[in-house]
Amino acid sequence: MALYRYPGTTAVNRQIPKNKFYQMGNATHKLEQLFVNQIERIHWANKLAENTLRIPPTDEVKEIQIFHLHTRVEHLDKRILNYIDNQILSPIIFEIHYQNKIKVIATYKRLSHTDKTKVVLDHYYESAWLTENSRQDLPIVLNLADLYAHLLHALLPFTVQDEINTAQNIEQILQKQREISLLQKALANLTTKLKNEKQFNRKVEINQKIQQLQKQINNL
């Protein structure tokens, strides 16, 4: 489950004007239009930190922000999230609120090793559409980095067996997810090719490649 119930002590409950983000990062006109057309309002809902959650920080993760984005569209352009993530150094968990549904989206974010004023972003992962009453309590963790790893792990599209979702191995888990995604795309392409192939010998050859890919995926 990816939708959590955050303690009252973490509440910020502050609406952020959209133009605040434009001013922070010199957004292009095209990006401003995306904000206008797709975002109704942005709500800074919670701050997960040592003084709000009583969980110790680490050098990598000192705070985690929870942003509610109330949208005008069901399929939000990820460029909006990418832009916001690049303006704020701490990790952000986005809750996309559309009509009566909620979707959680986030990327693994870390500070650049060469410039601590910049961030490095991974692929964006997202949950299915959920309802407000599906929220559950936060897990018990040792520190904020482990909490961040847990929140991200809940969004991954594939289950990595026997992996523990802690900060020590989250990058390894995400790398496996990227490998699985690439293999799944290759598998889908081969499956389509198999359906369209007329020659028996080529069908056998393609089917062998499909089996090899499935084996690779199962071994990850």
Residue 36: predicted pLDDT: 93
Residue with tokens 């520190």: 143
What is the DSSP code (8-state) at residue 67? E
Q: What pLDDT score was predicted for residue 210? A: 81
What pLDDT, on a 0 to 100 scale, did the predictor assign at position 1?
64
As a whole number of angstroms, the distance between CA 189 and CA 96 comes to 31
Whole-number pLDDT of residue 161: 44
Instruction: Report residue 71 as tokens.
Output: 């949208």
List of the chain residues with pLDDT < 70: 1, 158-168, 220
CB 170 within 8 A of CB 153: yes
How many of the other CB atoms lie within 10 Å of CB of 81? 21
